[in-house]
């Protein structure tokens, strides 16, 4: 729920988190204007992303990112093999 209050040249919005109903910090709303969650609750609604450095035989390392439970499992398996 946004409540506008005109203080100065720009309206200042106050928005409450959809989970905990606490107000979302103004700095967070400035950086992410379309966010619906505060910093504490945002982790519950974002997909986990894992990055690993994979080294092949005698080549430069390769940075690989994966999201999703099965893809992260596969990436971790490949990571342990390359070490």
Q: Round to whole Å and give the CA distance between 74 and 81.
A: 11
* Overall average pLDDT of the 27-55 stretch: 88
* Cβ 79 vs Cβ 54: under 8 Å: yes
**Mean predicted confidence (pLDDT) in 36-64:** 84
Residue 17 is predicted with a pLDDT of: 92
pTM of the model: 0.49
Does residue 11 register a pLDDT over 60?
no
Q: Measuring CA to CA, which residue among 56, 57, 29, 74 is closest to residue 65?
A: 74
């Amino acid at each position: 729920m946004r409540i506008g209050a005109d203080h100065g040249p720009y309206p200042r919005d106050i928005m409450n988190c959809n989970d905990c109903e606490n107000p979302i910090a103004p700095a967070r709303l400035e950086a992410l204007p379309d966010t619906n969650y505060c910093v504490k609750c945002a982790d519950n609604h974002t997909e986990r992303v894992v990055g690993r450095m994979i080294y092949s035989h005698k080549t430069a390392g390769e940075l690989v990112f994966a999201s999703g439970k099965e893809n992260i499992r596969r990436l971790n398996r490949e990571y342990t093999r390359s070490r």
